Structure 1
Amino acid sequence: MTEDPTDTTTPGWLRTSRDGAVLTVTLDRPDQLNAQTPDTWSALADVWASLDDDVRVVVLRGSGRSFSAGLDRSMFDTGSRTGGGLGELVRLPVEEAQERIRGYQAGFRWLRSPGVVSVAAVQGHAIGAGAQLALACDLRVFTDDAQLRLPEVTLGLVPDLTGTSTLVELVGYARALELCLTGRAVGAAEAQAIGLATAVVPRAELDDAVADLTAALLAPPVGASRAAAALVRSAVRNDVGAQDAAERAAQVQRLHEIVSGP
């Protein structure tokens, strides 16, 4: 692949760079442990809107010593009437507040959109919104010092950035319930054992491990890769009959495309 020299910084402390079929999205606020705000989520949604069909892998990273420590502290000011914080949300009509959160969720949900596979490179802490951002990705590579935590319930809140559905998909109902209700930290070794982490590596090897995984994801033909990813995603919610039908349809389409050629 030929590296695109374009390295763009967007509002919300988000930096993007493109290397052939790989788009790297970096949370770039290391002095605040990549704490997130609504501007971050809006910028993530804008990345989705700008994707082209040639992008096959999206790598999500955090600069500095942590992936993301979660919400910016200013978001917890319940007296605030502006800036997208909790105070502003509570003063909105219920329907409008829910619609505002739906917009926030869009910055997370696209990471499992058709056509791309997303990989989170997680070092240090992934807390709250940071944990949910890592969970939103298809795959996660952890450093051996990484910790993931969903503390929202301990603060009187709930995970609301797509984290509950992605967590249940990864670890099952009982484990997801326990992690959400206790808010305890999950270290890298446990994360790998229960299916949260695809791989765990020393911090010094994170870049190489992500590069190796990305290369493996790009190795199969693009059509087959995208069709297989779509099948695995649909299997989470389809019943057996529907999933068998989806496999049949996808295979016949693949055979026709192989025979007809590019």
Structure 2
Amino acid sequence: MTSPGSAHDVVLDQDGVRLTVEDMVATVTLTNPAKRNAQSPALWRALTQAGRSLPGSVRVVVLRAEGMSFSAGLDRQAFTPEGFTGEPSFLELARMSDTALDAVISEYQEAFTWWRRNDIISVAAVQGHAIGAGFQLALACDLRIVAQDAQFAMRETALGLVPDLTGTHPLVSLAGYARALEICATGRSVHADEAERIGLAQLVVPGAELDAAVRDLVAALLVAPRDAVVETKTLLRGAATRSYEDQRAAERASQTRRLRDLAGLGD
């Protein structure tokens, strides 16, 4: 799979993550296909840095991966006694105080949080396996276009753990509580067609058409004025936690800002 667009400026390239920018579109690519883009704390820090490095001109962020798999999840080295070089092992994490361990996991989670910022729309292009942390990374994005060979699975529970990289909230929001519980508790694979049917994917395409489908979606997302898109995303993201009347009020306030801006009366 190749990046959408042509001439990209490389902003960051480290620890299995490459960030390139072309005008209003940024592309974050997982670049370790030999290990099926398995994840590690170093990769998570690189993803966090990618989010911090986005130019203000960027409106859409595409998340993609090199090779046959989007991401096979946490690198199996994490489950060895020594873990990753220079990183706390699972046993060392377990021995930390609650406060210290909470801080470590919170730092890991930062790699998964910035994709839903109101000033950007994020699109995950998923092929092959998206397992565990890979599934959660795809869920971190606003939208998902998937190849027909895509397979999602949340295997953490089978390992005696829980999905802790921010995936539970979007999974429940998209698929509903009962389906989310069944997916997590069984660890089964969710194939592309089912992912589209239950709302985890917006579009399923043949693998050879994944790039083109992403380009088409990106182009469509860039048509509307940026401020209107930002206001709309902000409204939609807050809708689930607001009452009906509060959402009505939020719509009025948002439309007031838009009308005044269009009339040249904004701040």
**TM-score for the superposition, normalised by structure 1:** 0.95
Q: Give 1:113's match in structure 2, choosing from 110, 113, 117.
A: 117
- The one-letter code sitting in structure 1 at the alignment partner of 2:158 is T
Contact 1:153 1:180 survives alignment (8 Å): yes
Residue of structure 2 equivalent to 1:172: 176
Q: Alpha carbon RMSD of aligned pairs, Å? A: 1.8
Q: What aligned pairs does 1:239-258 form with structure 2 within 5 A after superposition?
A: 239-258=243-262
Contact 2:72 2:131 survives alignment (8 Å): yes
Residue 141 of structure 2 corresponds to residue 137 of structure 1: yes
Out of 96-105 and 4-13, give the one that drifted further.
Answer: 4-13
Write the deviation string for residues 140-176 of structure 1: whole angstroms up to 9, x where unpaired: 0000010000010011000000010110111111111
- The one-letter code sitting in structure 2 at the alignment partner of 1:69 is A
Q: Distance in 1 between matches of 2:102 and 2:246?
A: 32
- The one-letter code sitting in structure 2 at the alignment partner of 1:110 is W
Residue 223 of structure 2 corresponds to residue 219 of structure 1: yes
Contact 2:71 2:134 survives alignment (8 Å): yes
Q: Distance in 2 between matches of 1:246 and 1:190?
A: 34
1:261 CA drift (Å):
7.2
Contact 1:67 1:123 survives alignment (8 Å): yes
Residue 41 of structure 2 corresponds to residue 41 of structure 1: no
3-state SS in 2 of match to 1:52: coil
Residue of structure 2 equivalent to 1:50: 53
Q: Structure 1 residues 56 and 179 mapped into 2: Cα distance closer, same or farther (>3 Å)? A: same
Q: Distance in 2 between matches of 1:85 and 1:167?
A: 28
1:8 CA drift (Å):
4.4
Q: Distance in 1 between matches of 2:263 and 2:99?
A: 51
Contact 2:127 2:150 survives alignment (8 Å): yes
- The one-letter code sitting in structure 2 at the alignment partner of 1:38 is P
Contact 1:127 1:148 survives alignment (8 Å): yes
3-state SS in 2 of match to 1:162: coil
Residue 191 of structure 2 corresponds to residue 187 of structure 1: yes
1:12 CA drift (Å):
2.1
Quote the sequence identity (%): 49
Q: Structure 1 residues 84 and 24 mapped into 2: Cα distance closer, same or farther (>3 Å)? A: farther
3-state SS in 1 of match to 2:200: coil
3-state SS in 1 of match to 2:184: helix
Write the deviation string for residues 65-103 of structure 1: whole angstroms up to 9, x where unpaired: 010000011111245484244233113222101110001
**Any stretches of 5+ residues in structure 1 without a counterpart?**
none
Write the deviation string for residues 4-32 of structure 1: whole angstroms up to 9, x where unpaired: 54224533210111111000000000000
**Any stretches of 5+ residues in structure 2 without a counterpart?**
none
Contact 1:60 1:118 survives alignment (8 Å): yes
Write the deviation string for residues 13-69 of structure 1: whole angstroms up to 9, x where unpaired: 101111110000000000000001001111111112122321100100111001000
3-state SS in 2 of match to 1:260: coil
Residue 206 of structure 2 corresponds to residue 197 of structure 1: no
Aligned positions, number: 262
